[in-house]
Structure 1
């Protein structure tokens, strides 16, 4: 019979200790202080073991996921679903059943101190599992903050005395995440007193059997340190899976490099094919530049010719009739004038009044001819930029 107390299910062997969450303010404070002290002492150990637990759990989850996707017949052929030798407490000691291919077969009972040879033969290839009846343990749902999912086992260990009538050091426990609802999570917690588990393990050891797993019926496996390693038969699969993972990692690193080299090879081939066309385009560009340069020179010459015509027309309109030009040179933004007139001094303000010309300077002294009464001049006139 299960005795219900404080939302937990426990059996008569555990019912002697009532499931009371709080027994007075003093006990509550002492419990909190004790938990804080234990958390401080074990914090370093938890930090060191946490990474190993997470890596081991990740690898186990990955392997289990791959294995679960295989058909049952293939798992049996590959030996990754080993037979299980189930040891269960009985009135006169232990009873054994062999679980194979989804079926169970009862093995002969113990006669005397030595287990039957069928037990020893099955233990060589089967996973020896101690299965405790549900009546020997406690099973209850719990609700915790969603942040506890990352280290759910450690959180449950820390809160064990609040969730159960036991300290964490008094039980072996297991758990399973049921789901999340907003910022809360639901989990299933089961626990069995260590004294009961240790007694059954000692009985199995006296029978010459090395237990590799402990589980609570109707719940799941219990975390029990120091158990025997499972029998061989799956190690080669782990090696194969690890080799496959390493190959995948190498492929992930090598494929981009190989693709890059292939792309470079393709681009180099395309460049070789396009080189004649590129050289032809470059030649056309040089020819275009040459032609455009000649056109610019012609345009500049035409512009210069146009400006000379404008300057000559302006001088013709401004110079008096008695002034004669013998030479007109446009050089580097200046006009060089040579000619004769009756008064050279009178020409200077007339030329400087033009919008096309600026300052007038003498290139040589003025020479007077007494016979013709005319002056020979050589002037340099600045051309204004427009």
Structure 2
């Protein structure tokens, strides 16, 4: 690692340090990371004009940049009257200060690609070894390669300067009522935003505004998503209740049709079909109920079901116990053996059981 230039620190009172994310919440760090991606895009596509101050060999020169158009306003100590009006009307908008190469220090370090999220904190702790200034007197920025090297490390270009150097360069701007919001390096195309901001966005009011707007947008979206989820759950619950109510009404209508046809004494085939669909007369539901109550050691070889009775034939390890199991199950009564139990060569009981079906609700 080699220095492009070095400079001696000037005397100054310690300034407030930039936040490296150690004391911030996960949401704020995630928001900052998202804003870091959006900010360069917004600056490239935005039509807002920028004021750029370049610290060159002949002093500090001001430039007005709008899109790809770059207009020289002049040195700060020899501005024309129109240029002064432009500067005085600038207000609190963004002001870029670009230092000459002789006032910055460049380093290239290699860091693990897995530590991308904490590069700023890692570099902050290395400033005492990377620069000739105390860590609390250093302003720095960095740019990491997009692709990691085969060993899993990333080349990170670090640009640093002392606070004293930056403040000395910005002093002429203070006389014009301007305060730098972005600190970069001269030599690049002025129409392009600085690649590395040594303030790292801490002094840029546009970035603070974009973060506030982004935070409001994220919170608004989360609130809307929460409301939509609650509304969906409410609608689903209402639909379930309505479905249950519709099923109950359908069952009541079927029973009413069956009762009416029985009262009229008519052998209506439609009424017969409707009766078979009632939950307490459905053959399918009845068979399912039998399968539930029969023990695992018993199985049926034949089943006969009509409106009044049920006949079950099968094999069981303990046929006599089936009488108590079936009595009362699914509306069965008078459960009894229709024939003697016969034990086969395997020691299992062959049974033939007869039972009476209880009448359905509404039947005589």
Q: TM-score, normalised by structure 1?
A: 0.54
Q: Which runs of 5+ in 2 are unaligned?
A: 10-16, 189-194, 253-274, 287-304, 311-326, 342-364
Assess if the C-alpha contact under 8 Å between 2:3 and 2:105 holds in 1: yes
Structure with more of its chain in helix, by fraction: 1
Note the 1:107-186 alignment, pairs <5 A: 107-111=73-77, 117-121=84-88, 123-124=90-91, 126-146=93-113, 148-178=115-145, 179-181=147-149, 182-186=151-155
Note the 1:1-386 alignment, pairs <5 A: 7-11=1-5, 14=6, 50-52=22-24, 56-63=28-35, 65-66=37-38, 75-76=46-47, 82-91=48-57, 93-111=59-77, 117-121=84-88, 123-124=90-91, 126-146=93-113, 148-178=115-145, 179-181=147-149, 182-217=151-186, 218=188, 220-223=196-199, 227=203, 230=205, 235=209, 240-275=213-248, 278=251, 281-284=278-281, 291-292=309-310, 297=334, 300=337
Assess if the C-alpha contact under 8 Å between 1:83 and 1:99 holds in 2: yes
Deviation at 1:132, TM superposition (A): 0.8
Assess if the C-alpha contact under 8 Å between 1:107 and 1:118 holds in 2: no
SS in 2 for 1:275: helix
SS in 1 for 2:74: coil
Q: TM-score, normalised by structure 2?
A: 0.56
Assess if the C-alpha contact under 8 Å between 1:96 and 1:119 holds in 2: no
Assess if the C-alpha contact under 8 Å between 1:173 and 1:189 holds in 2: yes
Assess if the C-alpha contact under 8 Å between 1:85 and 1:98 holds in 2: yes
Provide the rounded CA distance (Å) in 1 between the counterparts of 2:183 and 2:335.
103
SS in 2 for 1:8: coil
Provide the rounded CA distance (Å) in 2 between the counterparts of 1:158 and 1:48.
10
Are the structure 2 counterparts of residues 47 and 174 from structure 1 closer, same or farther at C-alpha, using a change threshold of 3 Å? closer
Larger Rg: 1
Partner of 1:380: none
Partner of 1:23: none
Are the structure 2 counterparts of residues 108 and 189 from structure 1 closer, same or farther at C-alpha, using a change threshold of 3 Å? closer
Deviation at 1:191, TM superposition (A): 1.2
Q: Which runs of 5+ in 1 are unaligned?
A: 1-6, 18-44, 77-81, 307-386
1:152-192 deviations in Å (ceiling 9; x for gaps): 22221222343344443443211122143344232111112
Deviation at 1:249, TM superposition (A): 0.5
Are the structure 2 counterparts of residues 107 and 258 from structure 1 closer, same or farther at C-alpha, using a change threshold of 3 Å? same
Provide the rounded CA distance (Å) in 2 between the counterparts of 1:212 and 1:198.
12
Assess if the C-alpha contact under 8 Å between 1:141 and 1:189 holds in 2: yes
SS in 2 for 1:268: helix
Assess if the C-alpha contact under 8 Å between 2:87 and 2:176 holds in 1: no
Assess if the C-alpha contact under 8 Å between 1:215 and 1:221 holds in 2: yes
Deviation at 1:255, TM superposition (A): 2.3
